[in-house]
Amino acid sequence: MKRLSLAAITLAVLSLSPATGAQTSLPYMTVDAVNVGTETLQVTGIVQGESSPSTKTVRWTLGNPSDTLKAARLEACHRSLLLALSKPGQYVAQVGSDCCNVALVAP
């Protein structure tokens, strides 16, 4: 129960993508490393359907560099990816140029 509540709150907080996002995002089944810059996201992990880990970098296009909301989104993105990193198999992380969120893996 506790886990479900935490997950529900986590998902509510971490759903950062706009309604039109996720057009070119990738679903990571595992996240092995994360590097969040001011303009880029670099994620190492196993993308769904692939047989080996890879490192991909996407340019973060949501907002402008001086946008405080953008900085907050990047920070939340970083945390969500760390969460996925710490619990492999529990979350799938969706990462794209204008979105970054995690969702519970379907049982």
Positions touching another protein (CB under 8 A) are 3, 6, 9-10, 13-14, 29-30, 46, 49-52, 76, 79, 82-83, 86-90, 105
Considering the complex, state which of residue 65 and residue 94 has its C-beta at the smaller distance from another protein: 94
Taking each helix axis as running N to C, give the angle between helix 2-14 and helix 68-86, from 0 to 180 degrees, rounded to the nearest 10: 150
Considering the complex, state which of residue 80 and residue 96 has its C-beta at the smaller distance from another protein: 80
Considering the complex, state which of residue 29 and residue 103 has its C-beta at the smaller distance from another protein: 29
AA identity, residue 31: V
Question: Smallest gap, in angstroms, from Cβ of residue 49 to another protein?
Answer: 4
Question: Smallest gap, in angstroms, from Cβ of residue 76 to another protein?
Answer: 7
Let me know if 100 is exposed, middle or buried by CB neighbors in 10 A (0-12, 13-18, 19+): buried
Residue corresponding to tokens 């039109």: 20
Question: Smallest gap, in angstroms, from Cβ of residue 30 to another protein?
Answer: 6
Question: 16: how many CB neighbours lie within 10 A of its CB?
Answer: 19
